[in-house]
Amino acid sequence: MTFAIAGATGRLRPLIRVLLEPGHHVRALTRTGESPIASELRSLGAEIWRGDFDEPETLAAAATGADALFAAGTAHRVGPDGEMRHGVAAADAAKESGVPHFVYVSGSGAGADSRVPVFDAKRAVEAHIRSLELPYTILAPVYFMENLFNPWNLPSLTSRVLPSPVPIDLPIQQAAVADVVALAVAAIEQPKEFDRKRVAVASDELTAVDAAAAITAAIGIEMEPKRLDTSMLPPGLRALFAWLETDAPSVDLDQLHGNHPEVRWSSYADWSESQRARFRALCPHPHAEAVAH
Ligand SMILES: NC(=O)c1ccc[n+]([C@@H]2O[C@H](COP(=O)([O-])OP(=O)(O)OC[C@H]3O[C@@H](n4cnc5c(N)ncnc54)[C@H](OP(=O)(O)O)[C@@H]3O)[C@@H](O)[C@H]2O)c1
């Protein structure tokens, strides 16, 4: 099968490798084929196609003749207004191209009115997709485990502190990117089973206290959970964290995981182990510091 992947160089790019493994053809869309990530995708066997969400004709061209068009969002780069513009453009391009399946990555919070700008934007995109009467699947992940490596968390990690966007004893649901990718692959390969479905995606539910213990066990370096000081963060992010603390809807993990045994659902402990090298690079071992001094 042939798949066009828009947002191919973003955080969900492991999708490309997983689709290539069984022999699918992948058109990986990017605004520039010259980046190191584009080169890496090319070396894996992906075809690099020019794709810019601000030039929807590039998305339609790549989707033409493909079995599915997959679109990640762009909110992290262009904010909520950009997310809405790009999501609508991608859905319109799918419709115009006649591609038989459109897969859009929304967010779990976009399912209801949340007063969080990025979710409002994604909810509007979801409504637009439904209005187009094209075969679609909407994947709606909860908070990514990988957000721990976002720039605002790095100073804490280098001090062996696990920064939490919510009180450290409040359980929240999180999704491992690997699980989102695995579910996306299932949706892309089995369009009939996922037709016109919206699937909220969550891997585990735990407090920051439990998360710090899991990371400590995985990397052998004591991590202390602490609430993140969000006062310096942009308002959109603060709104997101406030929502996470008070209003985040709950995914039925048993039901989701039971419905999708094709995904090797990651516990936070599994994920921590998979990220051991990254943690060790960021969190200096206290004995190493003692030696240095
Ligand atoms: N982080 C979370 O906790 C969380 C939770 C739930 C859902 N999600 C969703 O999961 C998805 C993950 O996406 P992501 O983080 O991988 O996105 P991302 O890193 O921001 O990637 C977006 C991609 O879009 C491409 N792009 C093409 N045209 C663009 C344009 N005109 N402006 C900006 N970018 C353009 C960029 O590639 P080039 O630069 O190569 O063109 C980039 O790789 C998103 O839909 C996000 O909302 C995230």
CA of 288 to the centre of ligand 1 (A): 37
Whether residue 22 lies inside any domain: the answer is yes
Q: What is the reported pTM?
A: 0.96
CA distance 57 to 53: 9
Residue 78 lies in a domain: yes
Question: What tens digit of pLDDT does each residue of 245-261 get?
Answer: 999 889 999 999 999 99
Q: Please report whether residue 232 resides in a domain.
A: no
Range of the structural domain that residue 136 is part of:
2-141
Q: Is residue 191 part of a domain?
A: no
First-last CA distance in the chain: 58
**Number of folded domains that form the chain:** 1
Pocket test for ligand 1, best of 16, 37, 50, 74 (most atoms within 8 A of CB): 74
Q: What is the pLDDT of residue 49?
A: 98
Section 64-74 average pLDDT: 98
Decide if 258 is inside a domain: no
The answer to whether residue 261 sits within a structural domain is: no
Q: How far apart are CA 75 and CA 84, in angstroms?
A: 8
pLDDT-derived band at 292 (thresholds 50, 70, 90) equals very low
State in Å: Cα 88 to ligand 1 middle. 14
Residue 152 lies in a domain: no
- pLDDT, tens digit, for every residue of 172-209? 999 999 999 999 999 999 999 999 999 999 999 999 99
Angle, helices 117-131 vs 75-97, to 10°: value is: 0
Statement: residue 36 has pLDDT above 80 = yes
Instruction: Give the pLDDT confidence of 124-162 residue by residue, as tens digits.
Output: 999 999 999 899 999 999 999 999 999 999 999 999 999
Examine residue 88 and state whether it is found in any structural domain, yes or no.
yes
What CATH number did the domain enclosing 94 receive?
A: 3.40.50.720
**What residue ranges line ligand 1, CB within 6 angstroms?**
7, 9-12, 30-31, 35, 52-54, 72-78, 105, 107, 141, 143-144, 147
Q: For residue 28, count other CB atoms closer than 10 A to its CB.
A: 29
Q: For the residues 71-95, what does the mean pLDDT come to?
A: 97
Q: Is the pLDDT of residue 287 over 90?
A: no
Specify the residue with its C-alpha closest to ligand 1, atom 40.
30
What pLDDT is attached to residue 271? Answer: 98
- Percentage of the chain modeled with pLDDT above 70: 98
Report the alpha-carbon angle 204-206-210, nearest 5: 125
Alpha carbons 181 and 179: distance in angstroms, whole number: 5
Q: Based on the number of CB atoms within 10 Å of its own CB, is 10 exposed (0-12), middle (13-18) or buried (19 or more)?
A: middle
